[in-house]
Amino acid sequence: MIVGNWKMNQSLASIERFMTALAPALDANIATAWIAPQAIHLPVLLAYRQRWPKQLRVGAQNCASALSGAHTGEISPEALKELGVDFVIIGHSERRTLYGETDALLHEKVQMALGQGLTPIFCVGETQAEREAGQTMDVVERQVRHGLKNLQDEQWAQMVIAYEPVWAIGTGLTASAEQASEVHQYLRGLLRSFCPAQAEKIPLLYGGSVKPENLEELLKATDIDGALVGGASLKALDFAELLKISSCQA
């Protein structure tokens, strides 16, 4: 599973160029491309999904913790569903740090997204200081315990979790496959205790400076089921290459 997080990038013109360049990979049906554009560009991507209904999944980068009401500037999960959006990234480290999103708020967002039948991609990860202090597993455990508390079995079955060490996001520093896999195996162990029936099926994505040169090694490692990709997802040929590499590992 390869998810492109475009963050606050792309224009109408650059999306058109991107999709033209990605078209051969989508036509060849090598793997499903999950793409999260800025909210304002969702309808544009959804129009492309009509052309590639099997090969393209379209998602938001955030949603509100309420369905409607006095929340100026927020994105309603109900409106996302109505538009036909497939998934929503929740708890990205940029949301946590730049916009002060707490574990408690993220728990509400996850519940709202699940209630609308959207697939949440729930992000967790430690900072450099937390890693150096030996707190990585404590941090990701706390984020999962709080953010995903009290989920029913059928809700767990809708979840995707992304491990994104904050120090590796947009920095060019990738966690080694061993470092990433260690955390992924820990997360898998947690899931076995929370939802034994679903634990093995929940995709665990790695994110943080993923590119064509390092994806294969990451995907070969235990419990890494895919990638959440920022920078490299903005280049169509790199993104197509990531899809190709993932299909070879499937």
Per CB under 6 A, residues contacting ligand PGA are 5, 164, 169-170, 207-210, 228-232
Rounded distance, CA 151 to CA 148, Å? Answer: 6
Rounded distance, CA 110 to CA 82, Å? Answer: 17
SS3 state of residue 19: helix
Nearest residue (CB) to ligand PGA, 58 versus 79: 58
C-beta of 174: minimal distance to ligand PGA in Å?
8
Nearest residue (CB) to ligand PGA, 134 versus 172: 172
Give the ranges where 77-176 is alpha helix by DSSP (H): 77-83, 93-98, 103-115, 128-132, 136-147, 153-156
CB-based contact 63:77 (threshold 8 Å): yes
3-state secondary structure 22-82: HHHHHHCCCCCEEEECCHHHHHHHHHHHHHCCCCEEEEECCCCCCCCCCCCCCCCHHHHHH
C-beta of 236: minimal distance to ligand PGA in Å?
15
C-beta of 224: minimal distance to ligand PGA in Å?
15
At 240, the amino acid letter reads A
C-beta of 107: minimal distance to ligand PGA in Å?
20
**Residues with active-site annotation:** 92, 164
Nearest residue (CB) to ligand PGA, 34 versus 194: 34
Residue sitting closest to ligand PGA (CB)? 230
Nearest residue (CB) to ligand PGA, 105 versus 210: 210
CB-based contact 204:231 (threshold 8 Å): no
